[in-house]
Chain A
């Protein structure tokens, strides 16, 4: 997502990444990895709940789709790392696009730990998003993680 920041900026979209880590943990993390998009946190996960992001169960990790999702990430050079202190591994993520009035024009709550929309799908959602106050865009079909 960090690498795609300029592509989102080109279509008039800022990016804000939200972590459930505590501020001091996030500071340590960002000290080791340079991100060009702003990263904030919500260790109480109130915003996660406000956006309807659910916690999954342990059995989810045994689903073939999820196992394959992690395997595919490893093939792409992304290791599976342990969560940081305070992070709830069962908490699911999600991607939302808001307009200037904070109206949701695109919503993609993850259905499982590996379920994320592609960058291309997110960019398309922004490009086709209605102006503030009109009908929202349809979500894309579930696909590969970004």
Chain B
């Protein structure tokens, strides 16, 4: 995904296992997505 591209409305899982769409967390002008390698 490069600058200028539009991200699909991808789905994630909350810790309780329920699904959440990317669009549902866009509550400000910008959203920083931090993809972790691992939790440690």
**Main SS class of interface, B:** loop
Where the two chains meet, the residues of A that have a C-beta atom closer than 8 Å to any C-beta of B are: 1, 8-9, 11-21, 23-27, 29-30, 38-43, 46-48, 50-53, 80-84, 87, 89, 91-107, 110, 113, 122, 126, 129, 135-139
Instruction: Pull 12 A–B residue pairs with CB atoms less than 8 Å apart, ordered by A.
Output: A14-B25, A14-B30, A20-B37, A21-B39, A23-B16, A25-B39, A40-B15, A102-B6, A102-B8, A103-B6, A105-B30, A139-B3
Classify chain B's interface size. 35 or more
Residues on the B chain within 8 Å of A135, using CB: 4
The A-B contact count (CB < 8 A) is 173
Q: What's the nearest-Cβ distance from chain A to residue B26, in Å?
A: 6
